[in-house]
Amino acid sequence: MAKVFTQEEREKIKGQVVELVRQSGRETLRQLEAKTGATRYLMSVLARELVASGDVYSSGYGLFPSEQARKDWQNARKKLSRAKVKKPAVVDPDLIWSLPDGEIRRYDSRLNIICRECRKARRSRLLLTSSCNVPFEPF
């Protein structure tokens, strides 16, 4: 059975909730449950009371100190997600380089080119001949 909180304890928990939200900038109801020890139902009731009094702002993402804090948090998330998407592919110049005669030294998956050394390797020849239906000819 759930613990029954007195009005004084409820006010104390409300103060803790407001303080935690202001410190971290954002708290979910589950995080607040874990930190204060209150039940999920009590936390939702207290959150509604705090929102009605204007101490915190509630959205689908949790409790925020203000509406502007929620907007700032969402914009920061958008910027982070854009930064991850726009991250350019960095190609190491030493990874792929060609000799004056045009031979490619290392494998480039984008060009699907295999260097002469690799092509002459026994395993590579077995693989290439099996995929082309050409009989394998050992040297």
Mean pLDDT on 121-136 = 67
The pLDDT assigned to 27 comes to 93
The Cα 20–Cα 14 span in angstroms is: 10
The pLDDT assigned to 80 comes to 84
Domain ranges, ordered by start, for the chain:
7-69, 90-139
Instruction: Give residue-wise pLDDT tens across range 65-122.
Output: 999 999 999 999 888 887 766 555 555 555 555 555 666 555 556 666 666 667 677 8
The pLDDT assigned to 47 comes to 93
pTM over 0.85: no
Domain 7-69 fold is Arc Repressor Mutant, subunit A (1.10.10)
